[in-house]
Structure 1
């Protein structure tokens, strides 16, 4: 008899796990409230990056005059059309995932799942309740935007990132509260779309958890492009005032705008799942505790994605889900290794990283070398009129092994893959430098940085 697997949550952690389980011969039921792909596809990652693609198109015209091209300066964004496309692409991606799951033999059940003491899952749907028996369960319920009582979104003038696509007119002045990855991405996007933007940061700089050189560069780009960045400015509350908003700061200052986007972090979606009944341990913030093969503290119960708080990226969620099913169903398993994770921040320019940060390497007391090349010295960048960015590599001092790196550049998300391969395969800087790159190319700077680390 085939093993029975129930998966609660259809985001990247859930649907990738379902595909692996089906491939390994299991009978798989995927329970999802909103649609295949979950919030990552329908309200978060896919929509935001689609919006950013439109912003990037307009940002690309900034260097047109330098390249000898006259571009009209009165170009306007039809935000209603942009958001219609954003939501249409998100739904199309969800439909593609659904088709792939169904072709793989996965049963998709629309509803909300709750773990049962028997080891199965009780699904609550419009038609009533249904019990799904299971030999193993994966929880992949993700997370949702954090809100506070002093700043409640109304979906009209005050938004979370899930609600922002309801806009039908381009805001005159968008106030973004929160300077982490989500806040920085949306601030960059709306600045590129032509809005006046004020970014309210409780910390002394934007992207406080990221590479300091990259964060400093991005903040400089933001201010040069007309954005107002308020550092060390903690929000006290947000209220709607007529056709605008008023953001009160704890020091008594007030920022007025037409709209406000709240980017205050995420809350794990782990309530009302029946976790207590099975003895699934949570941390102080409500995230599910898991080990490197995605096991929880309860036998036969696994968890993946943002609900675990391990590393809140779609790619990590997907890998956690794949690992969980391989472990549950007896396939070969490579435990999750966060030292090899690559990530990207979709500001303009982008920030891509892989491996431990420079500050983490210093904290760990490792002896390492650093090479950092400004993008402006790259011949392809000069041809394209690119000035802001850099390539930075770290290597172990004793062996020259590549430990990690940072790339700040347009399409840095594509360029980081070469560094990611080097980290994953434990390549030395000489091996990276000896691999041919195209001339001229932005990737040539990766090889040049590696050559500068030759010992």
Structure 2
């Protein structure tokens, strides 16, 4: 591709998260001269303070939960007391060790990604990047001081992948000790005695689930009728039921007006005057794109009212040679989407073959216990008449492998067009639903029918057998 130009195509990337990282690799693969500007480290907040550490914490919580539930499978843990009689030990979680491990893993992942870029020939510049018009990136090393030799980067194509940061309320300002954002949780050394979680979206639900499994008392404050209001309603009901069965205090239709610290306690005051007192509070009330003050509007890039960069399905902005990927754009705030946007942007900019991103085909996952994985059209789409499809839900309690594993909660749900039987959506609620959803995602991407999926051989017994069983059941409907 590079031989079509007198010089190499120059690509400047601001932000080294999943979108910027994949854009850099794609550019290097196609022979471009790629410069990546990153402030905190390759991988960005997704690797260093968000996805990698949070999912590592959740994996630890799952391990603690598995030990606690082992008795249901006939596995018992005992130690010998002074009298020689068996004593059931308590499950102890060393949060300091857990946090040290997850931050170490995050740093290792960042270094691995940095090494991969370096081997590919990408130039990595540490600093804050901003646009200086549509074809130049200026890098500063903080306090407005320009970094020598890297103060200006001329580019034929610019990819903005600056991510987002936690939204902060004036009435509940984090102090990093008792009132925390999700990026600050890893600084605490002991399991909170009572964690108040404000916000029942994906982030709030995931951390509430994890810390309850780690042994904390948890109160989840939700302004909506149910937790996870953006997810499949059946799935959200399962998760809320599991939360309450596990001892979590779920406060629906409750809005926090303020959160203040008083010594070693925090007090959340609700709009109806009620108060909740705890030892710590996690504020999970959304995120804000990192688009302010980096020269976007001056360069002609259009932003939405929320500050997100407007992009089309190939990640192109209103300025032809400027693209945007990840949470700073108006697409789904998922690492997988950011990666796809980064690759697509570079492929398109350099004239390579490109498939515009189809959001309907994007698989998403909520890492609660159990997990929720979704792809394609939703049941609300069907009920509203957006798509005509049949629905079949198969409880995991009927699955033989689930019975063997002691899985009590969850289901597989498939949506198929009534006219053709083509699978157009699916929901999986189960342990490791993030792994089980892949066959459904492939079916949607390849436009497979329920009969074609049902003909695939699933291992017996297996959780994935519920997918072929659900597909087989839809044959009767269609």
Residue 377 of structure 1 is matched in structure 2 by 398
CA distance in 1, matches of 2:305, 2:204: 24
Residue 435 of structure 1 is matched in structure 2 by 456
Stretches of 4+ aligned residues off by more than 6 angstroms? none
Residue 295 of structure 1 is matched in structure 2 by 316
After TM superposition, give the deviation of residue 364 of structure 1 in Å: 4.0
1:51 matched to 2:57: yes
TM-align CA RMSD:
0.9
Residue 68 of structure 1 is matched in structure 2 by 74
After TM superposition, give the deviation of residue 298 of structure 1 in Å: 1.1
CA contact (8 A) 2:68 2:91 kept: no
1:240 matched to 2:261: yes
Larger Rg: 2
After TM superposition, give the deviation of residue 64 of structure 1 in Å: 1.5
SS at match of 2:298: helix
TM-score (norm. length: structure 2): 0.94
After TM superposition, give the deviation of residue 361 of structure 1 in Å: 2.8
Per-residue displacement from partner, 1:21-65 (whole Å, max 9, x unpaired)? 100000000000000000000000000000000000011134322
CA distance in 2, matches of 1:92, 1:306: 23
CA distance in 1, matches of 2:131, 2:154: 10
Q: What are the equivalent positions in structure 2 for 1:2-401 lying under 5 Å apart?
A: 2-71=8-77, 72=88, 74-117=90-133, 119-125=135-141, 128-129=146-147, 130-401=151-422
SS at match of 2:319: coil
CA distance in 1, matches of 2:53, 2:298: 36
CA distance in 1, matches of 2:42, 2:133: 26
SS at match of 1:64: helix
Which stretches in structure 1 are left out of the alignment for 5+ residues?
Answer: none
CA distance in 1, matches of 2:382, 2:94: 46
SS at match of 1:277: coil
CA distance in 1, matches of 2:244, 2:428: 21
CA distance in 2, matches of 1:330, 1:364: 39
CA contact (8 A) 2:311 2:330 kept: no
SS at match of 1:276: coil
After TM superposition, give the deviation of residue 67 of structure 1 in Å: 1.0
CA distance in 2, matches of 1:117, 1:297: 13
CA contact (8 A) 2:13 2:24 kept: yes
After TM superposition, give the deviation of residue 366 of structure 1 in Å: 2.1
SS at match of 2:259: strand
CA distance in 1, matches of 2:386, 2:157: 41
SS at match of 1:10: coil
SS at match of 1:20: helix
CA distance in 2, matches of 1:212, 1:75: 33
Per-residue displacement from partner, 1:263-318 (whole Å, max 9, x unpaired)? 00010100111012111000010000000011100121000100013100000000
Structure 1 stretch displaced more, 361-370 or 288-297: 361-370
Distance 1:118 1:385, change over 3 A: closer
TM-score (norm. length: structure 1): 0.99
Per-residue displacement from partner, 1:238-266 (whole Å, max 9, x unpaired)? 00011110001000000000000000001
SS at match of 2:403: helix
CA distance in 2, matches of 1:273, 1:357: 37
CA distance in 2, matches of 1:214, 1:88: 33
CA distance in 1, matches of 2:415, 2:134: 50
CA distance in 1, matches of 2:119, 2:93: 39
After TM superposition, give the deviation of residue 170 of structure 1 in Å: 1.0
